[in-house]
Amino acid sequence: MTDTRRRMRERKRLLARRVRALLAGGLVLGIGTTATLAAWNDSEYGTATFTAGRFDIVGAVDGTTFTNHPVGTPGALSFSTPFSALAPGSTVYALFSVKTANPSVAGTLQLSVSSTGGTGLGTYLRYGVRSIAGIACNATTYTAGTAVVPDNSAIGTAGTGTQAVAANGTSTVNYCFAVTLPAGTLNAAQGLTAIQTWQITGTSS
């Protein structure tokens, strides 16, 4: 074997060893790359509990003692004299205060007429309602108030608009009722009675 052939074989063996070494290194490198794909992880979670609020209104005929007055047991309004012996030209006044209970969400109030009874005096009566600043309901405070039912309305007339009440009893709507037996009322009205029931409807906001 000549030296040339021997050198060529040596070169081929050396080249083959280098190729095998490169292939082996590539395999090791591939394994190492695959291993680094796995990673640690972590998570954060949020939760909440939801509870519905409530809406409740209470009333007071004296401006201070508030309680519920459900259908069938309305609060008795304390009209000024001579509400039990009305004569033509008489006007009597009564307070009814309403606010939200505590706890309660805020809302609005709407005055309406629930029923009119008695023996017929209601057909002769005229009335108006105003919201007033304090709990003194009389001719002076009524005049300074904000109209809820227009003056000289028939006794079955509902209120116009709504009145806002804050949450948790922090504001009060003081309704001042003024009921009149008009001057010139016929003699036929003598001795008749009227049983009037109003309703304050509250709506949450």
Of how many residues is the chain composed?
A: 205
- Confidence (pLDDT) at 38: 75
Instruction: Pick the range with the lowest mean pLDDT from 2-11, 29-38, 125-134, 196-205.
Output: 29-38
- Confidence (pLDDT) at 37: 64
- Within 8 A by CB and 6+ apart from 103, the residues are 53, 54, 167, 168
Composition of the chain by helix, strand, coil, percent to 5: 25, 35, 45
How deeply is 180 buried, as exposed, middle or buried, from its count of CB atoms within 10 A (0-12, 13-18, 19+)? Answer: buried
pTM for this predicted structure: 0.79
Torsions phi, psi for 121 (to 5 deg): -65, -25
Query: How many alpha carbons fall within 13 Å on the CB side of residue 118?
Result: 17
**Does residue 33 register a pLDDT over 90?**
no
